[in-house]
A = this chain, B = another copy of it.
Amino acid sequence: MTQKACKLVIVTEKLLLKKIGKIIDEAGATGYTVVAAGGKGSRGVRSSGQPIVGDTFSNVKFEVLTPSRDMAVKISDDVATKFFDDYSGIAYICDVMEVLHAHRF
């Protein structure tokens, strides 16, 4: 099985884990991967001069393979509209060349 796909990457705060998982589900994506992440974003630096998010891995990074750019943008828009005024976050799309093997995609 070989298909082109988009990879949507969302990095945001860990407490949003379940809510964002639900948005991804409801958009019709068949799955996603989550890893614990740390880092530093512009929000952390600007608010206090100190990074809010240090070496503590209090962020999460979602990766969602979507069959179309449209689905990736829809998920990203939903997440940003609901959460990115109040929480740190970034969302971007990468090209996936080929999905080689998956149970269902």
Contact = CB atoms under 8 A, between A and B. Distances in A.
A90 B105 CA distance: 9
B36 A31 contact: no
A69 to B, nearest CB: 8
B37 A34 contact: yes
Given A39-B33, A42-B31, A104-B42, A90 B84 contact: no
A45 to B, nearest CB: 8
28 contacts: A17-B55, A18-B55, A21-B40, A30-B41, A31-B41, A31-B42, A31-B44, A32-B40, A34-B38, A34-B57, A35-B36, A35-B37, A35-B61, A42-B105, A43-B103, A46-B104, A65-B92, A77-B100, A77-B101, A79-B101, A84-B103, A89-B101, A90-B99, A90-B103, A90-B105, A92-B102, A93-B96, A93-B98
